[in-house]
A and B are shown apart, each in its own frame.
Chain A
Amino acid sequence: MAQIFHPSTNTISRVTIFGGLILLIVVVTGLATINESPYITEVGVARTQPVPFSHKHHVGDDGIDCRYCHTSVEESSFAGIPPTKTCMNCHTQIWPDSPMLEPVRESFRTGKSIQWTRVHNLPGFVYFNHSIHVHKGIGCATCHGRVDRMPLMWRENTLYMDWCLDCHRAPERFVRPREYVFSMEYQAPADQLALGQKLVKQYRIQKLTSCSTCHR
């Protein structure tokens, strides 16, 4: 018999083998990266809203406290989305006829609510309670980021389970004194761990990693 294959097939076959391996690795890591990327997690992706409400302006410039609008954050699992009325409390005097605020005024006239785009969304089977986190000294900014620097709201963290676990396993790394919970400027001290351990004791913070802590 003559040769079936050209000498080059040797190289080709080896290249295919090792190439295949490399390709596999690339694909897997690629998928993992995509999964962690803003494309999936929406981290840092500013969402458009019916009214271009700027936390940067209201929190950063005007210095309005979180709780003025998110009234139930200390009492309830749900922080509360302010009713149109809350907006109108000020905007009947301030910018009473700015076109930008027309949707708000319309909603107030018609009683039809403004349809905000949800930014922080957890799957239905995750039960998160704002009030207890706030009570135990987890700052708004810890999860929601520097809202006072967000013209439009975006998601600061992935909200993936392992992200939650980071804190639930080692709260001392993130906890802050209660008086600073609603502060945006608060900077974690250099000795956060020392402080953290102190607060963990003081606030009786447990490391809750049981499934039923969040899933029921």
Chain B
Amino acid sequence: MSNGMDPAGLLGIGQQSAGGREYWRSLEELAGTEAFKDLIGNHLPRHAAAFTSAMDRREFLTLMGASLALAGISGCLSPAPAPPDEKIVPYVNQPEALVPGKPLYFATAIPVEGYGRGVLVESHMGRPTKVEGNPQHPASLGATDAVTQASVLELYDPDRSRVITNAGRVATWDAFFSALNVELESQRVTQGAGLRILTETVTSPTLAAQLQEILRIFPKAKWHQFDGGGGDYAHQGARMAFGQPFETLYRLEEADVIVSLDADFLLRSPASLRYAREFINRRRIPGGSDEANRLYMIESTFSLTGSNADHRLAIAPSAIPQLARTLAARVSVQISAEQPAISPAQEKWLGALVKDLQAHRGRSAIMPGEYQPAIVHALAHAMNDALGNIGKTVFYTDPVAVNPTNHAESFRELVRDLEENAAQVLIILGGNPAYTAPAELDFAGHLVTSNFNVHLSLYEDETSAVCHWHIPQAHYLESWSDVRAYDGTVTIMQPLIAPLYGGRTAHEILAAVAGQAERASYEIVHDYWRGQNKAKNFDAAWRTALHDGFIAGSALSPRNVKAKPATSFETSEPKRASSGAATKNPPSLEVIYRPDPSIIDGRFANNGWLQELPKPLTKLTWDNAVLMSPATATRLGLTYRVGGSGGEHGTIYADVVELEYDGRRTRGPAWIVAGHADDCVTIHLGYGRRRAGRVGTNLGFNANILRTLDTLWHGASIAVRKTGAQYALACTQFHHLMEGRDLVRAGTIEQYRKNPKFLIERESEKEAPGTLYPGYKYDGYAWGMSIDVNACIGCNACVAACHAENNGPVVGKQEVLRGREMHWIRIDRYHRGEPNNPETYHQPVPCMQCENAPCELVCPVGATTHSQDGLNDMVYNRCVGTRYCSNNCPYKVRRFNFFLYSDFKTESLKPLRNPDVTVRSRGVMEKCTYCVQRINQAKIAAEKEDRVVRDGEIEPACQQACPTRAIIFGNINDPQSRVTQLKTQPLSYGLLTELNTRPRTTYQAKLRNPNPEIENG
């Protein structure tokens, strides 16, 4: 009965010491555990050494010093060496060397679909545990997205491939390299006529150099590109408009009027984090100005960006190019083809929009969607040109991607070569074409024709299964490499840990192809940049680059461009072979394919954090669905049923439909989305994986079965049949109405200008609720938070960040169905207005840290109490699990471990855990703590320097990740702090304050900026 360790020891609380934080408590213990040795493996002298002899600073530095030499030596020793020790330069805000128990931060970049985003990675004793944004990196600005947050889980994923396989049998690197060399020898004869290399979008200068080198050695070899998540239409569009594949950049801070032609720039763009920041910065009302930008959205599916638009026009995808033409014509772009008439409603809408655009020449921006055909991009360029936006809000640079090509065409060519047996040696670097490529091509089937093909990938996936060779890839946190951001800024990627499963980088494979199998990627990257930089101070520059996380001034400079007359291209119809044989019965609809908001094209399918992340608008988890508008659903006679257990906070039984396209069929649940365009359906890719791993396999359904290369993103006519079957979807929030409750307060800027207090004044709680009790005096710190609903775009970054920071468990679909998901912060989504085109609000809801916390009052054992700083503490080890607190929490932000959710068994997941946060065991309640571990660390640091904690010194994980800075945390006893100032704004309000809970977390009301002409009448 000492400190709650007795039987609990058997059931977790005890084990968690083994799992959670023991790692750094005693390094000896650490190095002792067999499991850990497996984890660290034999591949990594440095870390092994570092760990077994509690690396003190002397040794750390010597290691760093010796690394270069070592690299050379070990290089010569064996053909396939373990990666040698290399130098790592820690980031500024960290002790000069490793101190046991203190994290280090390293700068690198995460490549997502080819483009890089600067990140800082927190490392505890050599274990990367958390990824944060790099404030100085143009594509990050200190923020991250959900995918970036979850990438650290991918690093430790026990399902990642650990072995080289040849035809399914385990092989060795040596075996592979010799086999490869044999093939290459024969290729040399034919100058590589049979050599093919398939990559995803490439922006890495080093990789580009290597590819060119290979193409020099094998002049007849071909390099193909295919990216499951993108189509590279933008470059094609630029080619149309300018004759060159320019990169298009926007400076949204300069734009008063933004027209998005299906561009989901807040979520699906290499610059989404930056665009989100710039977009919101122009809408932050309680920041002095009461001016805001206005976003017009023209799209088919309901995108995240669409949900943040002031005006949305939901039309079928086939109509968008036409509308673009019409719009172009209205903004005086030379259009020869005469314009078909459009509906009066659209007429009115378009009229107002055009007027708005004309009124803001040079201060507007037309943004074409990534998945729109080239023509739309070209028209957008023309419009921006006509509106004089180029050089003001729109900029063009040379392409960031190396050798941009139309992926569809490039891939088609590869398949043709395979058919004609022209491609004998195929090297697939990353990607998973066997799954992501349209089924019609039967890529897998054709692979057999080539006599040697190899797949380099993190997982042993569908493609690996059909390739002769599979070789494990090193995770980006294990790799030396480089990558360009959306604006060309280069980041030298440095590893945080040596490859856990002995993976290699694409650089090392290409080096082998080029006949230098022994070169380690560190060498390759380092030497490439040495070659680039002729200056003698290279080492210093290299150091700075690693240290800062990017190479200063490496961004591509804007080009002043001249658009060709639109007449030259505007008639070229987008290729959309309406092959689907438009059948009238069953009703045939247009189809839209989009990467899944969480797992993109399936590359993150095995990532539990992302699978369990409620998708921005549908709030679905663990599944994809056939999204359609209410009207379309009624037309198809489709409906849903709320489950008896879980219900609106868990189980929704959706009608299953059969989809048929070109005779290829699949089935999927139908999901009704308010605001979706009629007569078309959206299907998210990335599901229906067959070889994703224990998490991602056999979830949802595979839409690639239906796709064709011509209709990668939009299909003309797909047949949708009701099957009568129903399927349980795990949806964390189905109820989207506020039931007349003031949860999200919203108005228009117009109203705000008239009376800044207009929202508060209509509220009931103008008179403060009385109390018999004196109430507490908080004379030290008083932590509080302000969340700007106006700034929240609903991107889920905070949810993922919170999960990563606080060792959140993954509970699985079954538990989500029961309404037991474990997110400490959730983003509530509410709709208002007519269902075919509703207003949407995103409201992040963490613990309110009420001063009169109802939860504390009812806890029989005092497991949740108030701290001196006014935090609502949750003491897991005291909790007996009555769950009374959750019942009494009006905000329902408490989460309960109904089972042993935290994984105490899987060794490889243990190093992932944040050592400063208890891993919760079975039967205890948990909830948002304002990241009390960060608060305490900051307080201790301040105390040691005999000062007070500075404003902004503490950033909870959610605030740190937020792209739009919608969440601000601080000391509300300090009148100067940002949070205090925000709380005094007229738009600041508390949630359910009429209950006299006195929440420390308050909100800023949402303000829309509608165009009066459209809004009224």
Contact B59 A83, beta carbon cutoff 8 Å: yes
The segment from B762-770, B787-795, B871-879, B1001-1009 found at the interface with A is: B871-879
Cβ contacts A108-119/B at 8 Å (1 or 0 each): 000111111010
B25-33, B893-901, B975-983 - interface stretch: B25-33
| Cβ-defined partner of B28 (8 Å) among A76, A113, A126 | A113
Q: Are B918 and A124 in contact (CB under 8 A)?
A: yes
CB–CB B54/A123 < 8 A: no
Q: Which listed segment binds A: B12-20, B215-223, B452-460, B488-496? A: B12-20
Smallest CB gap from A36: residue in B: B2
A78 and B868 CA atoms in complex are apart in Å by 25
Given contacts A111-B49, A132-B943, A210-B873, is CB(A78)–CB(B2) below 8 Å? Answer: no
Question: Is B55 among interface residues, defined by CB-CB distance under 8 A?
Answer: yes
Report which residue of B5, B29, B100, B867 has the largest number of chain A beta carbons within 10 angstroms of its beta carbon: B100
- B53 near A216 with CB under 8 A, answer no
Closest CB in chain B relative to A75 CB, distance in Å? 5
- Residue B535 interfacial (CB < 8 Å): no
A160 to B56, CA, bound (A): 32
CA distance A206 to B5 in the complex (A): 28
Q: Within 8 Å CB of B933, what residues of A?
A: 127, 216
Decide yes or no whether B80 CB sits under 8 A from chain A.
no
CA gap between A82 and B53 in the complex, in Å: 9
**Is B1 located at the chain interface by the 8 A CB criterion?**
yes
In the complex, what residue of chain B is closest to A84 when comparing beta carbons?
Answer: B53
A206 close to B53 (CB less than 8 A): no
Known: A81-B26, A82-B54. A211 touches B101 (CB 8 A): no
CA distance A107 to B49 in the complex (A): 12
Contact B56–A211 (Cβ < 8 Å):
no
Assess the A136–B943 pair: CB atoms within 8 A. Answer: yes
Taken together as a complex, chains A and B put the C-alpha atoms of A124 and B101 apart, in Å, by 14
A127 engages B867 (CB within 8 Å): no
- Tell me if B523 is interfacial: C-beta within 8 Å of chain A: no
The contact string, 1 if C-beta is below 8 Å from chain A, for chain B 929-952, is 100110010001001101000000
B871 touches A83 (CB 8 A): no
Decide yes or no whether A6 CB sits under 8 A from chain B: no
Please tell me if the beta carbons of B22 and A75 are within 8 angstroms of each other in the complex. no
**Whose C-beta in chain B lies nearest to the C-beta of A129?**
B940
Determine if A131 is an interface residue (Cβ-Cβ < 8 Å): yes
Q: Are B871 and A78 in contact (CB under 8 A)?
A: no
Q: Interface 1/0s, chain A 95-107, versus B by CB < 8 A?
A: 0000000000001
* Beta-carbon contact of A85 and B14 below 8 Å: no
Interface string of A44-80 (1 = CB under 8 A from B): 0000000000000000000000000001100111101
Interface centre among A118, A123, A204 (most CB of B within 10 A): A123
- Interface hits, B3-55 → A, CB 8 Å: 3-5, 13-14, 16-18, 20-22, 24-29, 31-32, 48-49, 52-55
Residues of chain B in range 172-213 having any CB-CB distance to chain A below 8 Å: none
* A114: chain B residues within 8 A (beta carbon): 28
Given contacts A35-B1, A85-B59, A204-B946, contact A80 B54 (CB under 8 A): yes
A112 with B52: CB separation less than 8 A: yes
The answer, among B28, B873, B876, for a CB contact under 8 Å with A116, is B28
Q: How far does the alpha carbon of A113 sit from the alpha carbon of B933 in the complex, in Å? A: 30
List A contacts of B52 (CB < 8 A). 111-113
A85 vs B13: C-alpha distance when bound (angstroms)? 35
Q: Would you call A206 and B868 a contact (CB within 8 A)?
A: yes
Answer whether residue A21 sits at the interface, using C-beta atoms and an 8 A cutoff: no
Chain B nearest CB, measured from A205 CB (Å): 9
Is B249 interfacial (CB-CB < 8 Å)? no
Complex partner residue of A78 from B18, B101, B875, B876, CB under 8 angstroms: B101
Of A76, A111, A132, A215, the contact of B101 (CB 8 Å cutoff) = A76
A135 CB–B CB distance under 8 Å: yes
Judge if A161 is at the interface, Cβ distance under 8 Å: yes
Question: Does residue A3 face the partner (Cβ distance < 8 Å to B)?
Answer: no
> Chain A 20-57 against B: per-residue CB contact (8 Å), 1 yes, 0 no?
00000000000000010000110000000000000000
For A212, give the chain B residue with the smallest CB separation: B873
Pair B877/A123 contact, Cβ less than 8 Å: yes
Collect the chain A residues with CB atoms within 8 Å of residue B13's CB.
123-125
In the bound assembly, the distance between CA atoms of A22 and B20 in angstroms comes to 45
Contact A125 B877, beta carbon cutoff 8 Å: yes
Quick check: is A8 within 8 A (CB to CB) of the other chain?
no
Count how many chain A residues have C-beta atoms less than 8 Å from C-beta atoms of the other chain: 45
- Number of interchain pairs (Cβ within 8 Å): 144
Q: Find chain B residues with CB under 8 A from A204 CB.
A: 943, 946
Given the interface pairs A83-B55, A125-B918, A136-B943, the reply to whether A76 lies near B100 with Cβ below 8 Å is yes
Question: Is A86 part of the contact surface with B, judged by Cβ < 8 Å?
Answer: yes
Q: Does A11 contact B (CB under 8 A)?
A: no
Q: How far is the CA of A202 from the CA of B32 in the complex (A)?
A: 43
The 9 closest A-B CB pairs, nearest first, are: A124-B17, A78-B101, A210-B867, A76-B101, A83-B54, A212-B873, A125-B877, A211-B873, A83-B53
- Chain B nearest CB, measured from A82 CB (Å): 7
Given A41-B2, A136-B943, 15 other A-B residues pairs in contact with their CB atoms under 8 A: A76-B102, A80-B100, A83-B53, A83-B59, A113-B27, A113-B54, A124-B16, A124-B918, A127-B936, A135-B944, A160-B2, A160-B3, A212-B936, A216-B916, A216-B932
Using Cβ atoms and an 8 Å threshold, which residues of chain A touch B26? 81, 116, 118
The answer to whether A211 touches B875, judged by C-beta atoms less than 8 angstroms apart, is yes
Are A71 and B2 in touch, CB under 8 angstroms?
no
Report the bound CA distance from A40 to B2 in whole Å.
9
A216 partner residues in chain B, CB cutoff 8 A: 916-918, 929, 932-933, 936
Residues of A within 8 A of B2 (CB): 35, 40-41, 160
Interface centre among B27, B919, B943 (most CB of A within 10 A): B943
Q: Does residue A9 face the partner (Cβ distance < 8 Å to B)?
A: no
Question: For the complex, is A208 an interface residue (Cβ under 8 Å from B)?
Answer: yes
Please, which residues of chain B bring their CB within 8 A of the CB of A131? 940, 944
List A contacts of B865 (CB < 8 A): 210-211
Tell me the complex Cα distance, A77–B53, Å: 19
Q: How far is the CB of B872 from chain A (nearest CB, A)?
A: 9
Q: Please, which residues of chain A bring their CB within 8 A of the CB of B56?
A: 71, 83, 85-86
User: Given the complex of chains A and B, what is the CA–CA distance between A76 and B94 in angstroms?
Assistant: 12
Say if the beta carbon of A187 comes within 8 Å of chain B.
no
Given contacts A113-B54, A212-B867, A216-B929, contact A72 B101 (CB under 8 A): yes
Q: A130 to chain B: closest CB distance in Å?
A: 9
* B514 interface contact, C-beta 8 A: no
B869 in contact (CB, < 8 A): yes
Q: Does A13 contact B (CB under 8 A)?
A: no
Q: A76-B101, A86-B56, A123-B13 are in contact. Are A212 and B1 (CB under 8 A)?
A: no
Distance in Å: Cβ of B280 to nearest Cβ of chain A: 32
- Nearest chain A residue, comparing its CB with the CB of B54: A83
Contact at B929–A212, with CB atoms within 8 Å? yes
21 A-B pairs in the complex with CB atoms less than 8 angstroms apart: A72-B99, A72-B101, A76-B100, A80-B54, A83-B53, A84-B53, A85-B59, A111-B48, A115-B28, A116-B28, A123-B5, A123-B17, A124-B16, A124-B919, A204-B943, A210-B869, A210-B873, A212-B873, A215-B876, A216-B916, A216-B936
A118 to B29, Cβ gap below 8 A?
yes
Interface assignment of A10: CB less than 8 Å from any CB of chain B: no
Q: Are B27 and A215 in contact (CB under 8 A)?
A: no
Q: Complex: how many Å from CA A124 to CA B32?
A: 18
- Residues in A with CB closer than 8 Å to B860 are none
List, in ascending order, chain A residues with CB within 8 A of B574's CB: none
Whole-angstrom distance between the Cβ of A215 and the nearest chain B Cβ: 5
Considering the chains assembled together, what is the distance between the CA atoms of A76 and B97 in angstroms?
12
Q: How far is the CB of B26 from chain A (nearest CB, A)?
A: 6
Q: Cα distance A7–B946 when bound, in Å? A: 80
| In the complex with contacts A85-B56, A124-B14, A208-B868, A113-B32 CB distance below 8 A | yes
**When chains A and B are docked, how far (Å) is the Cα of A113 from the Cα of B918?**
27
Asked whether any CB of chain B lies closer than 8 Å to the CB of A93, the reply is no
* Choice from A75, A84, A112, A210 contacting B99 with Cβ under 8 Å: A75
B943/A124 in contact, CB under 8 A: no
B27 surroundings in chain A (CB, below 8 A): 81, 113
Query: Considering the chains assembled together, what is the distance between the CA atoms of A62 and B27 in angstroms?
Result: 26
Task: Give the Cβ gap from A157 to chain B, nearest Cβ, in Å.
Answer: 13
